[in-house]
Amino acid sequence: MNRIFCILAIFSVFWVSLAWGATTAESPTVEPVEIVKAEFGLFNGPESGKPAFVPATIVPLEKDQCYGWIILIKTNKEMVKWREEFTLPAPPETWGEGQKQGVSTISADKKTCVTEREVKPDQGIIYNIWSVAPGDPKGHYIIRVIVEGKAERTFEFDVK
């Protein structure tokens, strides 16, 4: 797996927040974190001519294809913690050169990467992006995201 931090993420989050109608207005009775909407899909660069983010359940096994999740939350907290448990059907050739932010650990069988981060939501949006790398296996993938230790979403998709 090749972990990327692309400029695409900035544009994607901006456009998705517009599409979702995300607002910064919050109710004083909001729970510590409430998931309003969660999507998994493909991130596309501006040069592709495709929308910046497209919901999907199939990720093409094409080098550098970006994919990941976006979650719109309501919270009064300035910073939120999330944990991502990313499980592949078989070990990849590599999980990349490591994470630039947060803490990541790889399971003994090399099929699962757990990443933990604390982030400031951008207009209520948190996200994580991966990209297809040579040696990534075909098959069924699962990403489980836990926000503030309670709210969670599971995304299942196929890479082919």
Query: What does the pLDDT look like over 84-111, one tens digit per residue?
Result: 999 999 999 988 765 445 688 999 999 9
State the CATH number of the domain containing residue 12. Answer: 2.60.40.1930
Q: What is the pLDDT of residue 11?
A: 44
Residue 62 lies in a domain: yes
User: Does the structure show a pLDDT above 50 at 15?
Assistant: no
- Does this model's pTM top 0.75? My answer is yes
Residue 118 lies in a domain: yes
Q: Which domain holds residue 146?
A: 7-159
Evaluated on CA atoms 93, 98, 112, 134, the torsion sign reads: negative
Residue 1 lies in a domain: no
Instruction: Report CA Rg, the chain.
Output: 15
Q: What is the tally of structural domains in the chain?
A: 1
**Residue 7: how many CB atoms within 10 A of its CB?**
9
**Residue 24: how many CB atoms within 10 A of its CB?**
8
Show Cβ contacts of residue 116 under 8 Å, excluding neighbours closer than 6 positions.
81, 82, 83, 84, 102, 103, 104
Residue 2 lies in a domain: no
Residue 125 lies in a domain: yes
